[in-house]
Structure 1
Amino acid sequence: MINRVSPFQIATQQLQQTQLQQKPAIGLDKNSATNKVSFGDFLKESINQVNQAQANSDKMTNALASGQNVELHDVMISAQKSSVSLTMAVEVRNKVIEAYQEMMRMQV
Structure 2
Amino acid sequence: MNAINPNASGGRLVGATPLPSQRLTIAGEASPAKDAGSFKNLLLDSIENVNGMQQQADQAVEALFTGGDVNPAEVLTAVQKADMAFRLTMQVRNKLMDVYREIQDVRI
- Pairwise same-fold verdict (TM > 0.5): yes
**How large is the Cα RMSD of the aligned pairs?**
2.1
Aligned residue in 2 for 1:86: 86
Which structure would you say has the larger RCO, counting Cα contacts within 8 Å and 6 or more residues apart? 2
What's the CA shift for 1:15? 1.9
Q: Which runs of 4+ in 1 moved over 2 A?
A: 26-29
In 2, Cα distance between equivalents of 1:27 and 1:50: 24
Q: Which has the higher helix share?
A: 1
In 2, Cα distance between equivalents of 1:78 and 1:28: 34
| Structure 2 residue ranges without an equivalent (≥5) | 1-17
| TM-score between the two structures when normalised by the length of structure 1 | 0.73
In 2, Cα distance between equivalents of 1:27 and 1:39: 14
Aligned residue in 2 for 1:54: 54
| TM-score between the two structures when normalised by the length of structure 2 | 0.73
17, 21, 26: which one aligns with 1:16: 21
Pairs aligned (count): 89
Counterpart code for 2:92? V
